[in-house]
């Protein structure tokens, strides 16, 4: 599965220093790595705003990820080499209770990750 099959869009909102990505399909570790590079490029494009930005991830149309994908994301979020590009806050949203439970595991790496059922709640938390 290619990145085009799994990332619907990455939108940069420089006014609010926000990276918003929508993921669809089956999120394998390979796809997660490719998506991570696309998100990293979007973050770098913020210039001085990189590392001070907010990240909003829409996974409402993504399938449950294999455990290996969640483990890869945990390691990435915990990696000090990528710390300069970390968002101030990261929010994921999906109506799937099972997916939200799975995404809660990311909080083991960073406590500034929020997981929500809908976009409005996620965005409100990000900008609070």
Convert the pLDDT of each residue in 74-95 to its tens digit. Answer: 999 888 888 788 899 999 999 9
pLDDT of residue 63: 87
pLDDT of residue 3: 47
Rounded to 5°, the CA angle 88-26-123 comes to 30
Convert the pLDDT of each residue in 22-76 to its tens digit. Answer: 998 888 898 888 888 999 999 999 999 899 999 999 999 998 889 999 999 999 9
Q: Show me where the domains of the chain are located.
A: 3-127
**Which phi and psi angles does 75 have, rounded to 5°?**
-65, -40
**Which phi and psi angles does 101 have, rounded to 5°?**
-60, -40
CA distance 37 to 82: 12
Rounded to 5°, the CA angle 49-52-53 comes to 80
The residue count for the chain? 128
Convert the pLDDT of each residue in 97-109 to its tens digit. Answer: 999 999 999 998 8
CATH architecture, domain 3-127: 2-Layer Sandwich (3.30)
């Amino acid at each position: 599965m290619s990145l085009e099959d799994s990332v619907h869009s990455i939108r940069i909102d420089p006014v609010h220093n926000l990276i918003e990505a929508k993921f669809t399909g089956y999120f394998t570790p390979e796809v997660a790595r490719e998506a991570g590079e696309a998100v990293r490029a979007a973050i770098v494009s913020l210039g001085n705003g990189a590392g001070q930005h907010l990240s909003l991830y829409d996974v409402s149309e993504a399938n449950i990820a294999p455990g290996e994908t969640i483990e890869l994301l945990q390691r990435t979020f915990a990696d000090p080499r990528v710390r300069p590009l970390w968002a101030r806050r990261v929010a994921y949203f999906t109506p799937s209770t099972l997916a939200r439970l799975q995404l809660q595991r990311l909080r083991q790496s960073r406590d500034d990750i929020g997981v929500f059922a809908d976009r409005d709640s996620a965005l409100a938390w990000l900008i609070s």
